[in-house]
Structure 1
Amino acid sequence: MIQIKDQLDNLHQFETSPKRIVSLVPSQTELLYDLGLEDSMVGITKFCVHPIHLKKTKRIIGGTKIVDFTKIKELNPDVIIANKEENTKAIVDELSQICPVIVTDIKSVEDNLKMIDDFGQLFNKQEEAKQWISKISLAYNDFQFFMVDKPIKKALYFIWAKPYMVAGEDTFIDAMLKLNNFQNACNKPRYPEMNENEIKNSEVDLILLSSEPYPFNQSHEDQIGKFTSNVKIIQVDGESFSWYGSRILKAFDYFKTLHEKL
């Protein structure tokens, strides 16, 4: 008997390690692959792009906010892996009628390491999980040392345009900003909207335009630059700031190159 509490503190019990997995979160799909669970994954979302070949070999069950319940049921999964931020409670509740749904809630590097350990226990991949935890922990400590003498910059992290939306507090992105000594100028929770006047009056040193979920480009950089002054605007890799799981190992190297541009 395997007993595991997900990160919403829900207790799940399994007679044996689940063999048929549906993943509703791109970064968690990548982690499952890196833990050696490619053959066990039977369903993924259309946004699960790492590794890219999975989109050709696995059943696509929709997106993260809209899923095809019939397709998922037909896959006869033993477990569904979801996330509190990516998937709505209504989706999780309905999917729970099919099989257990493990819901993660990642707001820090420590939460991420706990998720990896949980997956290792659940899927009998303890050694693989231990190796990933070790590699990420070493890189995390190294990056913290790298940041020791870096100045604090007040920043806004844009995730959407039309309307403009930024990453607020109580998010994984906020944790990544703090790790980079970027003081989040948005003290509201989640992902609030901001108008041009609010952005202009935010008195930030830095504006970061994410590559996802909205594909910001040079035209957006030029547009925002028209109503901000003395503010450095940089387009950044959204996966490095918002993807957890095994992806964070690559993020630390990316962050180092980012600081070279500042």
Structure 2
Amino acid sequence: MQVEKVINHITNWLKEYATNANIEGFVVGVSGGIDSAVTSSLCANTGLKTLCVEMPIHQAQSQVNRAQEHIAQLKERFPNVSDISVDLTPVFEEMKSAVPAVEPSAQLDLSLANTRARLRMTTLYYFAGLHKYLVAGTGNKVEDFGVGFFTKYGDGGVDLSPIADLLKSEVYAIGKALKVPNSIQIAAPTDGLFGDSRSDEDQIGASYDELEWAMKMQDNGQKIDDFTGREQEVFRIYTRLNTVNQHKMNPIPVCKIPVNLL
């Protein structure tokens, strides 16, 4: 990948899209991870106003520290960058108390994790509407089009996706070129939605390098029986998630009414 040319291409794409839409800038949720760090850096690189929003919900201090380090560095380098922190923990807890209590379960944990992501999406759109900004998505290609590792109408609810055609390894390469803090570059990827230390790999069962490999194998027409051992296990994980999460990756089904019924 020609890193500098890709950076310039995305930067120009962002700027052209915003200009044509008569929009004044971007709002990005910054989590302390590589994807949001790269996305916010690319938005800042356009010269347009870029608002970085921290939205902790029972967040690990290490994630908060990385997000703040990145934002501070961006503000030093780009005068068009501003930031705000919105503690959504009380909002999250209030919602939990407002809905009927249910027995603890893995399904409850997942539902609450997705609720966190959707509260953040709502917050980003509040600021986008307030300032006439676009919400810039932070999903990469493996997450958005491979395994569907995002929350529908949560981190998947965005106006445009600048890094969604980049594999995770390519996001890291761009992050290095954009001088993303080393603490973010070496941190284990995590969505931070469960209030514990679990990483993306813990949740998925495979690393991003393995998922990239499986994505390429599927694109090449390979089948599960073409592999053995760990490769077969990873390919099975990838194809299962790619199948069950199609509802996230495909357009919302619309019930078409036959002409003779109208």
- Is the TM value for this pair above 0.5? no
Q: Which is bigger in relative contact order (C-alpha 8 A, separation at least 6)?
A: 2
- The structure whose residues are more often strand, as a share, is 1
- The structure whose residues are more often helix, as a share, is 2
User: TM (normalized to structure 1)?
Assistant: 0.30
User: TM (normalized to structure 2)?
Assistant: 0.30
